[in-house]
Each structure stands twice: as C-alpha cells, then as structure tokens.
Amino acid sequence: MFTSISNFVGKFRRFSRRCCLINLTGRCIASSSVNNNRSERNSVVFLRAREYKDRVAIVDSNGSHSYERILFLSQAIGNSILQRIRGRDLSGRCVAFLCPNDVSYVATQWAIWRNGGIAVPLCNSHPTSMYDYMIQDCNADLVISSSDYAPKLEPLARGQEVTIMFLTDVDQVLTSANQMLSSEELTAVEMTEQCWDERDAMIVYTSGTTGQPKGVLSTHGNLRDEPHPSLFMAVPTIYSKLIEHYGKENLTKEEKEKIRFRCEQLRLMVSGSAALPEPVMKRWKEITGHTLLERYGMTEIGMALSNPLRGPRLAGSVGTPLPGTEVRVVTENVDGEKEVIAEGNEHGSHVSSFNEGREGEFQVRGPSVFKCYWNKPDATRETFTEDGWFKTGDTAAYANGVYSILGRTSVDIIKSGGYKISALEVERHLLSHNDIVDCAVLGKPDPVWGERVAAIVTLSPGKKLSLEDLKRWSSGFMVPYQIPSVLLVVEELPRNTMGKVNKKELRTVYFGKE
C-alpha cells in the first residue's frame, strides 16, 4: 500500500562531511534548561532544539539547515503519520524508515520520536529480503521512505500488510509549514511525557555476523548516555581501501600531497566495529600523520572502551573504559564456577593475582547498554547475567593497563590441540606480509586437533603464495601452533555492509557444515 507526503523531501541527497551526525540521537546540543520545565536528565534533542532554532544543525550538499527547519519538517511528517494511522500518537509503535543521507533522515527520525514511536532505520545498501525480515521482525506496518527506493520497497507492499509513505520535495512543504506550523508547537506526546529516559526510542539491527540480525532496542536515556567521539570515523576496511587507493600508480605526487593535507586538517581519526590490523595502523600514520584511535563498541552497548585521545595508542589494544561504563573479564575456575579475573571503570582497573593477560568473556554494564532484543525474550535473558552485566560474546584480556579483544568467542577463538588461538592475532601477523591484501583466519574442523588454523587470503595482483611459503615466512615471528596449516587464496573476501566478514558462512562455504 502506497501513500505520499505530497511535495516533500527529495531535493537533498547527501550529508556534507561537516554534518554533525550526533544530532540524530540527541547528544550534540549544549546542556541547558528546557523551556517546558522538564529536567535536563529527561530532555531530548527535539525539545532542546527550540532554544537553538536559529543555529545550524546540519549541512548537506544543498546547504545548511537550522534546528527550526528540522522542527518544521518533522512536524509536517508527523502530521502525515498521524493522519495515516488516524490517531493522536504512535503509542510505541515501530516505524521503519529508509531515507537518503540528508536532512530528510533526521526530520523523519524526529517525527517518529516526537509522536511517541520507535524509529527503525533501514540501511540503503541492504537487499529487499533484509528489509522484509526487519520489518516483519519489529512488526512495523508503516515505512517512510524517499521515492528513490521505490523499486526496493514496492515488493514489500505487495507481499504484506505494510503502508509506505514517500517523501518528495522540501521547498513547498517548508513554505506551507512556515504558514501553518510553529517551531514552538508541541505534539501530544511532548506535552505529556514526563520521563523520556525510560521511553523506547530506536531499534538498530546487529550486523548478523554470528547469526540472523537481532533488533537492539534502546531508550532515549541509552542514546543520550552513550559516549560518542566525533570527526572522521570508519571501519578498518575503509582505511584499507583508502590506503589501496593512495597506492595506485596513476595518482600524481600533487594528488597524494592533497590527500595528506586534507587528512592533516582533521583533529581525530577513529577506527572501530572490527579489529584494526597493525599494518593498516602503521601505513595510515605514514600517509596521513594520524595514529588511528581504536575503540571498542557494539550495537548493544554503544562504545565501551577507547584508546586515549592524548597519550600512547597501542596497536592491538582497545584501551580503557569510557566514562560511565563498567567492564569485566570473566572465566571459569577449576570447579566450573564463574570467576571475575579483571574489572574496571573510567577510574581504573584491577586484575586478580596471577591473572594478568589471562583471557575470558568480556562483559559490560552501564547506562548506554541497550534495553532488550526486540521480540526475543529468551535471547535477552541469555545475554545478561543475573546482576545485570551484558555478555558481549567476545573474548578479552587485561594486561599492562589496557584491554585487548581477542575476537568473537564463537568464531575467532580457535581451539587446536589444547591451545586457544586468537584468529585476530594471526590475521594481524598475516597482514604484515607484503603480498597479502586481505585475510580471514578461522578454525577448520579436524577430528584429531579439534580445529586447524585456516587462512583465507587475497593477494596483490600478479602475486602467488603457497602454504609452504607462508609457513616458512611465519616461522620467524609466530609460535608454531599459530601458523596456518590450511591456506586458501581467493579473489575477494565477502563482507557485509559494516565491512565485516561472516566467518560462519565462510566456514560453511569452504569447509562444509560442522
């Protein structure tokens, strides 16, 4: 079923790099009292925006947009939503939205929040089948989108009970909105809600590297409390691709100098969402002068650990806890009981005797930790301890004052001949090989060893590499049980939209079902 918000957003297409994405979840506007006498603790970005309505909120490819403009647009979208559902508010309903990376994205998200709904953003690079799964999983019966994505969404409207509202041109809606609406006007929810912190705000789906994506439900309080570094942030794959581009033979010396100059203008460059290979970190510093700041986070927890803004940034480490976050490393003792071997917060960490560097399950607790997995009570219950710690599913260790993530316990910890081997550590070594461009290390099931260390690699154009060559090269600096005993050379490693490799799928494709 299709409807249209006549004459709405279609003109804008892309955020400028100067755009402050933090505005989307309400962490950018300076602290201040709120006009409607709600406490700062329970205020949200669209309420505080009225105090800064003349200030620039977003810069996209078509120009700048004030907070007042976003309030107008969100009010217009919200009115259309309420007309469609024939109600005073959304009453906690999920509304999915698929918008370009421009002002329409923010205005749509605000419209959903201001009218009491849960915003479910969809990724524009996903296939239709993934939209179908997410829309059904969160029970959304309304999708807001740009007509640009009509070919992807039309099959969904035909196949299930879902309404799709398309946005079109912004100028005429702004003209009418300026005449009809006031940026001071409050929605029914804004006038009555007394505790925004507890109100459900957004469902973001996990990347699905270890199974079907799960909908992570966060409250407005979760979103506001999550620490959020700014400036340039990317996954390691992006940095690898940029390094590859920089190394192209057709780039002139002047073009390379221009790239370096532009990077030098940035105050901070951050890497996250996957382990940062040490060779990438070193090469990026050589090219740009920036030592990438690696940090650790998940959809479920926001960001929990970070290397320091000022101070040494250690390769292979994700630093220390961010403010408001508690972390711990848990293992089993000889009696099979859970034992905390390292624990800490922003003020410091301590490790029990003789356990420095010992690996265990990484757990997190704090205000930015999500509320639950949407419609999956069993998964939620299994992933939290009785005392409220979130079990990340990652294996970690604490040593020399910093935490290191050794990988996903289910796929990145290879158990071979009694040894526990970090696939990420092996990958870091392999990526220092001059001919290896990309790699994934995983455990191949083996009846004798349990698992064998298997490396799937892509090589530089025209290069060849045999298993014997790799073993000979590795023997100089890797312990014997870490050295791959299986080598596969492929043209390209498949990655998802987050730049991550799904190792479970790789294992099935290349080594068959376990």
| Predicted confidence (pLDDT) per residue in 294-345, tens digit | 999 998 998 999 999 888 998 889 999 999 999 999 998 877 789 999 999 9
pLDDT of amino acid 39: 46
Q: Which band of pLDDT confidence, cut at 50, 70 and 90, is reported for residue 82?
A: very high
pLDDT of amino acid 183: 61
pLDDT of amino acid 210: 64
* Mean predicted lDDT score pLDDT of the chain: 84
Locus of tokens 């004052």: 401
pLDDT of amino acid 48: 87
If one compares 159 and 189, the residue with the highest pLDDT of the two is: 189
Contacts 24+ apart (CB under 8 A), 265-268: 266/231, 266/232, 266/290, 267/231, 268/229, 268/230, 268/231, 268/232, 268/293, 268/309
pLDDT of amino acid 513: 56
pLDDT of amino acid 332: 85
**pLDDT tens track for 462-483:** 999 999 999 999 998 899 999 9
Lowest-pLDDT range of 160-164, 287-291, 324-328, 413-417: 160-164
Please say if the pLDDT value at position 86 is more than 70. Answer: yes
Q: Which helix (H) or strand (E) holds 462?
A: none
CATH code given to domain 45-181+190-223: 3.40.50.12780
Q: Which band of pLDDT confidence, cut at 50, 70 and 90, is reported for residue 202?
A: very high
Fold adopted by 413-511: GMP Synthetase; Chain A, domain 3 (3.30.300)
Report yes or no: 166 and 146 within 8 Å, Cβ to Cβ: yes
Lowest-pLDDT range of 57-71, 144-158, 227-241: 227-241
Which 3 state secondary structure label does DSSP give 344?
A: strand
Fold adopted by 316-408: Luciferase; domain 3 (2.30.38)
Q: Structure tokens of 353?
A: 């005797």
Check for a shared fold between 45-181+190-223 and 316-408: no
pLDDT of amino acid 400: 93
pLDDT of amino acid 36: 40
If one compares 2 and 375, the residue with the highest pLDDT of the two is: 375
Q: Structure tokens of 446?
A: 């083996």
pLDDT of amino acid 156: 80
Report d(CA 54, CA 76) in Å as an integer: 19
Q: Got the DSSP string for 401-417?
A: TEEEEEEETTTTEEEET
177-186 core/surface letters (b: 16 or more CB in 10 A; e: else): beeebebeeb
pLDDT of amino acid 384: 96
Domain map (residue ranges) of the chain? 45-181+190-223, 227-291, 316-408, 413-511
If one compares 414 and 209, the residue with the highest pLDDT of the two is: 414
Report yes or no: 415 and 450 within 8 Å, Cβ to Cβ: yes
Q: Kindly state the percentage of the chain with pLDDT values over 90.
A: 48
Report yes or no: 363 and 330 within 8 Å, Cβ to Cβ: yes
